[in-house]
Amino acid sequence: MTAIAPSTTGATLDVAKIRADFPILSRTVRDGKPLVYLDSGATSQRPRQVLDTERHFLETSNAAVHRGAHALAEEATDAYESARERIAAFVGADVGEIVFTKNATEGINLVAYAMGNASVGERVDPAAERFRLGPGDEIVTTEMEHHANLVPWQELCRRTGATLRWFSVTRDGRLDLDSDEARTVINERTKVVAFTHQSNVLGTVPPVSELVRRAREVGAYTVLDACQSVPHAPVDLHALGVDFASFSGHKMLGPSGIGVLYGRAELLEALPPFLTGGSMIELVRMEGSTYAPPPARFEAGVPMTSQAIGLGAAVDYLSAIGMDAVKAHEQSLTEAALVKLQDLPGVTIIGPRTTEARGGAVAFEIEGIHPHDASQVLDDSGIAVRVGHHCAWPLHRAFGVQSSIRASFHVYNTMEEVDTLVAGVRRAQEFFGTVQP
Amino acid sequence: MYQEIILDHYRNPHGRGLRDPFEAEVHHVNPTCGDEVTVRVHLSGGEGRDAKVEDLSYDALGCSISQAATSVAHDLLVGHTVGEAFDTLDAYQAMVQGRGKVEPDEDVLDDAVAFAGVAAYPARVKCALLGWLAFKDAVAQAQAGGSS
């Protein structure tokens, strides 16, 4: 199978009805311009259903979960664990494989730090020996990663003496997996292969099955950054066969401050803790402590309760629409944006030019106009896009650009908004005099 | 925000290019967008605020606001004492960080008043300050180097 499950043909959704669920989308910006929100790759907007669920929980059942025996504590714990169950089902995982984190960045750091904890110091649990890293070991990542799936591995290498290696990106925005050089990136020294499920800049969806196959062949663990895939397409983590995966609530119509780390049950069972303290213990004595089984072992302290419950509501919302329909909708917007932007003189897409193995992040350059300046003109028309290096600086360097403009879509975006974007780019070109009006 | 003065400086930057002699060179980056500027300063005579800014030379990669702002800094700061240059810098910084509440003094800021509009866009304030703060840093380094 490919990285993301194929979408059912003919899946459609009612955008007007969906937009009515998002209060923020009806506001205007910059002197009465309707908001055209094309920055869901950075953070998505939240429907009333998510906001109402959080508020309802806080007004009726708020309490610290997994402590206390009073009525509210019981209701809060049930709501929190019910959210975990629905989120697990949403991504094809078992409930015990879902760990709540602050965001995807923390999820990836959790794995990196836990592996680090298995690699240094005294009295490491024998079960955790399998994660031990040291000089001579290698961690593999890719040039198209978000900093969140790169810097934690650089740091883990620094702490353990392991070496970082990476797959390069080709000019057309794909991973180079087949050059002579690429063939040796994953080898018998590789212990971890960390890669994105969908580039947050290029939109590229790398061949997960091939990377998982190569990693398994040498006994390396796979860590998938699923931040840009889980919100936009059906994802079945068991079917993908990755060992760990991480995603954020705020990119999938849910609250900020909540993310998910998925780990295969057998691995979470053996993984030492990252953050320690309350909730995550089994037995505490002054001489030392033992730890709770997962997922509790990885959720130290009072967790983000209303946020987790809000994420449960977001997953319900997306499930009701159907992720096949979400994917098909975003695919059609992406295709229109790719075609219409490439039609403009001086506009270059950074990343694959077609929707094949590609999601809904469309990064581009406008000849002669700095992205910041372009985004200012777009902003004056009410269009919100991301500019900069999008936390993927090495990727921009590989393309020889300092920064880019990125439009990204979600379930509430419309074809008219794609047209507004294209007209805005055209207006920026006229304003800066790079094309004649 | 895009006053004609800004676009003019962007298209035809004044004093661009790195020149000798210089006492300090600094490289500043705006990590949110990747804009970069390298600034050299050449000072002469006097100590501290009395030294004279003989040259501010630079090489920059960035948006129109950051490029034009550095060009204007060159015009306004070169030929003045460090004390005068810092006073101008303070007035400029107060204006662009003032969220529109600071009335710019045109006598002090000259062409730089064109950047008053930047104050309405907090995300762009860093762009407008990049070259100016690099200059401040370079002067500090030049004078620290000179006194040690």
Residue A300 has which token pair?
A: 């130290």
Answer yes or no: are the C-beta atoms of B143 and B49 closer than 8 Å: no
Count the residues in chain A: 437
Please confirm, yes or no, whether A391 is among the known catalytic residues: yes
- Give pLDDT, residue B122: 85
Contact residues, A window 323-382, toward B, CB-based 8 Å cutoff: 370-373, 376
pLDDT along chain A (437 residues), means of 10: 43 90 97 97 98 98 91 95 98 98 98 97 90 98 98 98 98 96 97 98 97 98 98 98 98 98 98 96 94 96 96 98 97 97 96 94 95 94 94 92 95 98 96 85
Residue A281 has which token pair?
A: 């213990």
Query: Is the minimum CB–CB distance between A388 and chain B shorter than 8 Å?
Result: yes
The DSSP line for A388-404 is E-TT-HHHHHHTT-S-E
Query: Is the minimum CB–CB distance between A427 and chain B shorter than 8 Å?
Result: no
Answer yes or no: are the C-beta atoms of B31 and B91 closer than 8 Å: no
In tens digits, chain B (148 residues) has pLDDT values of 788 889 999 989 999 999 999 999 999 998 877 789 999 999 998 889 999 999 999 999 889 999 999 999 999 999 999 999 999 999 999 999 988 788 888 888 888 888 988 888 888 899 999 999 999 999 999 999 754 3
Q: How far apart are CA A54 and CA B128, in angstroms?
A: 40
Residue A140 has which token pair?
A: 């593999």
Sign of torsion over alpha carbons A192, A198, A204, A205: positive
CA angle A435, A361, A413 (to 5 degrees): 90
Answer yes or no: are the C-beta atoms of A166 and A151 closer than 8 Å: no
Q: What is the pLDDT of residues A268-277, one digit of tens each?
A: 999 999 999 9
- Give pLDDT, residue A11: 61
Partner residues linked to B31 by β-bridges: none
Q: A126: which residues sit within 8 A by CB, 6+ positions away?
A: none
CA distances from A100 to A194, A231, A306 (A): 20, 16, 12
Q: What is the pLDDT of residues A276-304, one digit of tens each?
A: 999 999 999 999 999 999 999 999 999 99
- Give pLDDT, residue A7: 43
Secondary structure (3-state) at A3: coil
Q: How far apart are CA A271 and CA A264, in angstroms?
A: 10
- Give pLDDT, residue B3: 84
Contact state of B33 with A403 under an 8 Å Cβ cutoff:
yes
Whole-model pTM?
Answer: 0.91
**Diameter of chain A measured on Cα atoms:** 76
For B119, list phi and psi in degrees, rounded to 5: -60, -25
Q: How far apart are CA B110 and CA B104, in angstroms?
A: 9
Q: Which of A376, A396, A431 comes nearest B34 by C-beta?
A: A396
Q: How far apart are CA A241 and CA A264, in angstroms?
A: 9
Query: Is the minimum CB–CB distance between B68 and chain A shorter than 8 Å?
Result: no
Query: Is the minimum CB–CB distance between B33 and chain A shorter than 8 Å?
Result: yes
ipTM of predicted complex: 0.79
Determine which one of A205, A268, A378, A391 is catalytic.
A391
Q: B37 CA to chain A: closest CA distance, Å?
A: 13
Residue A203: how many CB atoms within 10 A of its CB? Answer: 27
Contact state of A372 with B63 under an 8 Å Cβ cutoff:
yes
For A150, list phi and psi in degrees, rounded to 5: -130, -55
CB contacts of A372 in chain B (<8 Å) are 33, 35, 62-65, 124, 127
The DSSP line for A71-89 is HHHHHHHHHHHHHHHHHHH
- Give pLDDT, residue B119: 87
Q: Which residue is it, tokens 């650009």?
A: A401
Q: Which residue is it, tokens 């550095």?
A: B70
- Distance between start and end Cα atoms, chain A: 48
Q: How far apart are CA B116 and CA A156, in angstroms?
A: 45
Long-range contacts of B109-112 (CB under 8 A, 24+ apart): B109/B76, B110/B75, B110/B76, B111/B5, B111/B9, B111/B72, B111/B75, B111/B76, B112/B69, B112/B72, B112/B73, B112/B76, B112/B88
Q: Which residue is it, tokens 């697990």?
A: A88
- Chain B residue with minimum CA distance to A396: B34
Residue A174 has which token pair?
A: 């794909």
- Using a 10 angstrom Cβ sphere, with 0-12 exposed, 13-18 middle and 19 or more buried, the burial of residue A431 is middle
Answer yes or no: are the C-beta atoms of A362 and A406 closer than 8 Å: yes
- Give pLDDT, residue B108: 87
CB contacts of B2 in chain A (<8 Å) are 373, 376, 431
Q: Where are the alpha helices (DSSP H) in A31-177?
A: 48-60, 71-90, 104-117, 151-160
Q: A194: which residues sit within 8 A by CB, 6+ positions away?
A: A108, A139, A140, A141, A145, A149, A153, A222, A223, A224, A225
